[in-house]
Structure 1
Amino acid sequence: MRSPELTPVERDQEDAQLAHVIAHDLREPLRMVISFTELLARRYQGRLDAEADEFIAYTVDGAHRLQYMLDELVAYLRLDSEAQPRQLTDCNALIDDIVQRLRPILEAEHAVVTYDVLPTLRADRRQLAHAFLQLIDNAVKFRSKASPRIQITAIRQSGVWVFTVRDNGIGIDPQFRDRIFLLFQRLHDAGKYAGQGAGLAFVKKIVERHGGRVWVESEPTQGCVFFSDAA
């Protein structure tokens, strides 16, 4: 566990060092595991019994999932060290760009994203875009039977901007409202919903980097309303 006496700068340095270790010392042996298990799958598929083929397939899939999780962990740890200078960011243009990037997914799911007139903030544009993208992607991923509807609004309260991202998805049990913002936390079976449960942890860290906080209000089957505030 990291010491509670670490300063923010020391914590950033520790995160950067850990990211370096993962990126350079753990990825290489994992790449070897993936290469050799894929070789086993290609060379021996159908030559052993069906159970052996299944075991090899599980191993290949597990190794690829571990690689994805390591990549996500490195990106998470580098949020501070790779931050860009904050600049005036038009959130309307930002959401427009995100909708264009997600257009194939949105059209495939018949999803609609609407937003009011949004403010201009001084922010790390790349990270802010990543946070909104994760929230929109989550709304589409955890959809109900109805076509996804995502609404983004912002109001000024007590000197800060409060953003809401509202959807009509499957909702979240109140007991899990805090857990969903932890890294690699999944509430649903991996076979039903893709991903490793990292997206909202990124959102939380990005919002906190900008001096804000993020929370959710939801009930099962009632969709979600994600809130974040920023100065």
Structure 2
Amino acid sequence: MQKELEERARELARSNEELEQFAYIASHDLQEPLRTMAGFANLLEKKYKNRLDQDANEFIEFIVDAAERMKKLITNLLEYSRINNKEAPFGAVDFNKVVSKVIYGLQNKLQSGDVEIKLNQLPVLQANEGQMQQVFSHLLGNAVKFRDERPLKIEIWAEEKDTQWQFAVKDTGIGINMAYATRIFQVFQRLHTRDKYEGTGIGLSVCKKIVEKHGGEIWVDSVPDVGSTFYFTIRK
């Protein structure tokens, strides 16, 4: 029985590795034809947009918009497939610097609204710096994106536990129905239409995969129209 379980575990690991490799190859190979399509669509828009009728102009806009969305989707798929890359080494990571870099990268979005971010003292831990930056980029990016007209407050902190550190990113955004608290961490899962909030539905699944690679877990506590707190743990 034990040998059978071990064999199934090995088969599952091989299957997951093959699936990740397929996702990487497929998304990588899709980039070249997509660049060609997007390039010609942009040329068509620049050269003929004001020389065609309204219907034709709308068709061109649809092509350009679809190409841009596909580009983002492929980029996120590549990001997801690279998480288990063996060339992603661990080292001493100052999480204060990681989060500060992410906040700096969000300056354009932060300037467009009333946003207050409080960054408390964070630890230095063994982790992959690039992947930790991805986690905070998705969590803070979502906090800024999923908001209403109210002033937005975001707070980041960490608490030391027995064998791990627990991080938290809290916001006063639109919140999430807790019935979807598990679903949002699955690939391609979206709770809102693209017309209301853009995105590919991959960001939180990337966070989950990275956190699990670091021996931790991720979850959310949220109240609709009040806000959300995303928690994740990292081993000491």
Per the TM superposition, whether the score is higher than 0.5 is yes
Q: Work out which of the residue numbers 59, 65, 71 in structure 2 matches 1:67.
A: 71
- Return the TM-score normalized by structure 1: 0.87
Equivalent residue, structure 1, for 2:49: 45
Conserved? CA contact 1:16–1:81, under 8 Å: no
Structural mapping, 1:73-222, within 5 Å: 73-81=77-85, 83-222=87-226
**Hey, what's the Cα distance between the residues in 2 that align with 1:11 and 1:196?**
21
Change (3 A) 1:104 1:62: closer
What SS does structure 1 have at the residue aligned with 2:11? Answer: coil
Change (3 A) 1:221 1:123: same
Amino acid at match of 2:224: P
Amino acid at match of 1:152: I
Amino acid at match of 1:62: A
RMSD in angstroms over aligned alpha carbons?
2.4
Which segment is superposed worse, 72-81 or 99-108?
99-108
Change (3 A) 1:219 1:157: same
Identity value in percent: 35
Equivalent residue, structure 1, for 2:33: 29
Which segment is superposed worse, 108-117 or 119-128?
108-117
Conserved? CA contact 1:12–1:81, under 8 Å: no
**Structure 1 residue 47: Cα displacement:** 4.5
Unaligned 5+ runs, structure 2: 1-7
Instruction: Render the CA deviation track for 1:196-218: whole Å, top value 9, x for unaligned.
Output: 22221211111111011101011
- Return the TM-score normalized by structure 2: 0.85
Which segment is superposed worse, 119-128 or 29-38?
29-38
Q: Work out which of the residue numbers 21, 28, 31 in structure 2 matches 1:16.
A: 21
Conserved? CA contact 1:181–1:200, under 8 Å: yes
